[in-house]
Amino acid sequence: MNSKQIIALLPYQDPFLFVDDLTEISSKGISGHYTFKKETHFYKGHFKNNPITPGVILTECMAQIGLVCLGIYILKDEFVENTNPKIALTSSQVDFFLPVYPGEKVTVVSEKEVFRFNKLKCNVKMYNEKGDLICRGKISGMIKA
């Protein structure tokens, strides 16, 4: 299963799809990119005259790439065309270090900690284009084909 096939199985679409490409994919981890579009609606109010990406959106980007895409890859043999995966975020604990501005491209790197009984727990990090750590945390969720 390749990047395009995994992204096609995601249950998200614009404006709530935060995955542009997946660059490394294995059963042990995954990495990918997303560029935050300057015209996205939440920048108009977060914050006045100094727009930055809300932490909840950064967490969502980390979860989509680092948890959901990895879960789809791990369960790839259970997915068929037109499968609509069932996904539930069960926990997230994220520490934030740097802001993400409109138009900025980020890289998400995820390492599987455990996958058991369709529950996936990952250590996920997000970096900016300079390679600086933006945020990191543990994200867990349930996924079923």
Is the separation of the CB atoms in 62 and 111 below 8 Å?
no
Predicted pLDDT at 81: 62
Determine how many CB atoms are found less than 10 A away from the CB of residue 45: 9
Mean pLDDT of 107-115: 98
Looking up residue 49, the CATH number of its domain turns out to be 3.10.129.10
The lowest-confidence range among 31-35, 71-75, 80-84, 130-134 is 80-84
At residue 113 the predicted structure's pLDDT band, cuts being 50, 70 and 90, is very high
Q: What is the CA radius of gyration of the chain?
A: 15
Determine how many CB atoms are found less than 10 A away from the CB of residue 104: 17
**pLDDT score of 143 more than 70:** yes
User: What is the extent of the structural domain holding 18?
Assistant: 3-144
Tens digit of each residue's pLDDT (9 = 90 or more) over 62-103: 999 999 999 999 998 887 666 778 889 999 999 999 999 999
Euclidean distance between the first and the last CA atom of the chain, given in angstroms as a whole number: 15
If one counts the domains in the chain, the total is: 1
Reading the block at residue 8, the tokens are 């096609």
Mean pLDDT of 11-22: 95
Task: Pick the most confident of 21-35, 37-51, 69-83.
Answer: 21-35
CB neighbour class for 54 (10 Å; exposed up to 12, middle 13-18, buried from 19):
middle
Predicted pLDDT at 98: 98
**pLDDT score of 142 more than 70:** yes
Pairing of strands 119-127, 133-144: antiparallel
- In the chain, DSSP assigns E strands to 21-26, 29-35, 86-96, 105-116, 119-127, 133-144
Reading the block at residue 111, the tokens are 């390492």
Q: Which amino acids are annotated catalytic?
A: 46
